[in-house]
């Protein structure tokens, strides 16, 4: 029996608009990955250190993650369309400020403001999907949505490479502005307003605790990677993070309107799905961080050529993500999610065999396998999260899903960046022992710094570069091992706790209005 299409009549056009809004937010971090080397250059960029580069990524991610809960609640209370519109406008303004930042610290601050805009955009897109699509179509729509995330991750380096070949580093942020303007116009024309008729109060204390806890956690990991975990700045920050996050959980358990309802995690389906997302993005974003330096420095590819190597990832996402809903329907989330995570783990393990002279097609093949894997992890996990919550709480469910994704990615960059820095620094000790103190510190800090020192080192440049490349590849292998272990942990989570194949669903109500009335959802036409 065919299930009637009772969703919003413009639902597929609305999905297209939401994909555009989503692309600009997700694309930003992957564009930045290609620009890291240029931003680190004291002449062509801002002379940013390794730690500043990590914070340029994580300042965005931390604000993004810390405010997603509040943004999801605001979207459910004030309206998803208005929240999406304001978020896009703020994101565009912050992109403009990032493009013309005069120092690494200014860039970090502007990126944090971009995270504020992105926090409003991301949960609104997924909650609007949950409201304009009926349950029998929602899995397919979320597959397209997740494919857009993967596409943005993949095309970001290509777009960034094209811009850096012809313009200054700030162009990778300036490109966001026209896309944001187009998105705002299309949202105002096509997207209907919707909200939760029974919204909760905004949890200001919980939001502040979550931001403080996540910031301390990431700062402690980055500081430990740069200066050692024995330093008080590192272990003190990590201890403070543990105390603050424990207080956050305790506080959220006892208030009636928490920003994060921790009781949601008693739902096995919800917990397993969010755990999978966090683990896979921890591994994936850490790999994206070190692969940019490998391609542009060790292999000597320009921004465009290194960005082009992400095309196989994009192709895999575009081909497999939209089909994942059908795979889940046939085999169930457990089988599809586990298989996807195994592919991700296999691609990450492949980096253990990558060296300075490995045929570059192997790198492209690893990106393709990773794209196939992630295309079959995100849609079933996201759909499982959304299916475990009532429709009127779609904004909160979306916020939790995306917060876990962002926190996982931030910690992946921080933790694996710390491993990369520590192992690299140990490998450089002997080679830089005779350099002046200032040059030695720069060369020991990162491979970008070593290349900058080598440019002025005269006859000793080749030896310094060889040691830097060898040290970086060794550090990359250790980081790769870490990413693989976290992906395999995700497999274990999926096998143990993700639901199996579901029985066929009964037909949906005959009209969108009757379903909205049943669910208590207020739909306001544009």
Q: What is the pLDDT of residues 90-112, one digit of tens each?
A: 999 999 999 898 888 899 999 98
Residue 331 CA to residue 111 CA, distance in Å, equals 41
Is 70 exceeded by the pLDDT of residue 252?
yes
pLDDT for the residue 488: 94
> pTM above 0.75?
no
Which strand (E) or helix (H) includes residue 394?
Answer: helix 394-428
Average pLDDT for residues 238-259, to the nearest whole number?
88
Residue with tokens 């890291």: 36
Q: How many CB atoms lie within 10 A of CB 115?
A: 27
Whether the per-residue pLDDT at 504 is higher than 60: the answer is no
Q: Look-up: residue for tokens 């290609």? A: 34
pLDDT band at 459 (very low <50, low <70, confident <90, very high): low
Q: How far apart, in whole angstroms, are the C-alpha atoms of residue 218 and residue 417?
A: 11
pLDDT at position 8, please?
Answer: 62
The stretch 340-349 carries a mean pLDDT of 94
For the ranges 130-144, 278-292, 495-509, which has the lowest average pLDDT?
Answer: 495-509
**Contact at 8 Å (CB) between 30 and 178?**
no
Give the chain's mean pLDDT: 79
- Please check whether residue 292 is in contact with residue 299, taking contact to mean a CB–CB distance below 8 angstroms: no
**Residues of 303-322 as b/e, b for ≥16 C-beta within 10 angstroms?**
bbebbbbbbbbbbbbbebbb
pLDDT at 396: 62
pLDDT of 446 higher than 80: no
Predicted confidence at residue 457, as pLDDT, reads 65
Percent of the chain with pLDDT over 70: 83
> 3-class DSSP state for residue 523?
strand
Residue 141 CA, distance from chain mean position: 20
Identity of the highest mean pLDDT range in 113-127, 394-408, 473-487:
473-487
Question: Please, are residues 494 and 337 in contact by the beta-carbon 8 Å criterion?
Answer: yes
Q: pLDDT tens digits, residue range 272-316?
A: 888 888 888 888 878 877 787 888 888 988 877 877 887 888 788
Contact (CB, 8 A) for 129 and 18? yes
pLDDT surpasses 90 at 383: no
Q: What does each C-alpha distance from 391 to 234, 388, 399, 442, 519 come to in angstroms? A: 42, 9, 14, 53, 7
Is the pLDDT confidence value at 393 over 80? no
pLDDT at 419: 85
Radius of gyration of the chain (CA): 23
Instruction: Enter the tokens of residue 42.
Output: 């004291």
DSSP β-bridge partners for residue 195: 522
Q: What is residue 226's predicted lDDT score, i.e. its pLDDT?
A: 65
* 211-228 residue pLDDT tens: 788 778 877 876 776 677
Q: Supply the pLDDT for residue 398.
A: 63
Q: Indicate the range of 274-283, 334-343, 350-359, 438-447 predicted with least confidence.
A: 438-447
Q: Give bridge partners of residue 522 from the DSSP assignment.
A: 195
Residue 507 has pLDDT above 50, yes or no: no
484 pLDDT tier (thresholds 50, 70, 90): very high
């Amino acid at each position: 029996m065919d299930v009637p299409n009772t969703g919003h009549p413009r639902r597929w056009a609305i999905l297209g608009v939401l994909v555009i809004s989503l692309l600009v937010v997700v694309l930003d971090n992957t564009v930045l990955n290609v620009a890291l080397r240029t931003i680190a250059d004291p002449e062509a960029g801002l002379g940013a250190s390794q730690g500043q580069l990590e914070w340029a990524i994580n300042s965005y991610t931390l604000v993004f993650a810390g405010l997603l809960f509040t943004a999801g609640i605001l979207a459910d209370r004030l309206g998803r369309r208005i929240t999406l519109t304001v978020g896009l406008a703020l994101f565009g303004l912050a992109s403009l400020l990032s493009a013309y930042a005069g120092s690494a610290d200014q860039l970090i601050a502007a990126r944090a403001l971009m995270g504020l805009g992105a926090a409003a955009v991301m949960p609104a897109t997924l909650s609007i999907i949950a409201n304009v699509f009926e349950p029998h179509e929602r899995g397919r729509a979320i597959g397209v949505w997740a494919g857009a995330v993967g596409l943005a991750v993949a095309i970001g380096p290509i777009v960034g490479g094209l811009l850096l070949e012809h313009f200054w580093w700030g162009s990778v942020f300036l490109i966001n502005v026209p896309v944001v303007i187009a998105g705002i116009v299309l949202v105002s024309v096509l997207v209907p307003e919707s909200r939760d008729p029974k919204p909760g109060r905004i949890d200001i204390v919980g939001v502040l605790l979550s931001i403080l806890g996540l910031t301390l956690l990431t700062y402690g990991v980055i500081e430990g990677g740069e200066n050692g975990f024995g330093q008080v700045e590192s272990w003190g920050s990590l201890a403070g993070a543990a105390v603050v996050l424990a207080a956050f959980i305790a506080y959220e358990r006892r208030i009636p309107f928490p920003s994060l309802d921790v009781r949601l995690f008693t739902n096995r389906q919800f917990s397993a799905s969010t755990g999978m997302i966090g683990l896979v993005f921890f591994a994936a974003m850490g790999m994206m961080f070190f692969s940019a330096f490998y391609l542009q420095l060790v292999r000597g590819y320009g921004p465009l050529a290194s960005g082009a190597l992400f095309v196989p990832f994009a192709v895999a996402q575009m081909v497999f993500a939209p089909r994942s809903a059908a795979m889940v329907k046939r085999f169930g989330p457990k089988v599809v999610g586990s298989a996807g995570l195994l592919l991700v783990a296999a691609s990450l393990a492949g980096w253990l065999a990558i060296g300075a002279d490995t045929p570059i097609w192997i790198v492209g093949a690893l990106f393709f396998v990773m794209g196939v894997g992630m295309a079959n992890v995100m849609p079933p996990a996201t759909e499982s999260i959304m299916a475990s919550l009532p429709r009127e709480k779609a904004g909160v469910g979306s916020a939790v899903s995306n917060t876990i994704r962002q926190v996982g990615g931030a910690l992946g960059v921080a933790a694996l960046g710390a491993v990369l820095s520590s192992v690299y620094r140990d490998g450089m000790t002997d080679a830089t022992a005779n350099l002046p103190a200032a040059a030695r510190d720069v060369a020991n800090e990162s491979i970008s710094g070593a290349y900058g020192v080598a440019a002025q080192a005269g006859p000793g440049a080749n030896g310094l570069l060889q040691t830097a490349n060898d040290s970086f590849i060794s550090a990359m292998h250790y980081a790769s091992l870490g990413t693989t272990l976290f992906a395999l942990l995700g497999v274990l989570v999926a096998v143990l706790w993700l639901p199996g194949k579901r029985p066929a669903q009964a037909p949906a109500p005959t009209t969108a209005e009757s379903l909205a009335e049943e669910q208590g959802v207020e739909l306001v036409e544009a």
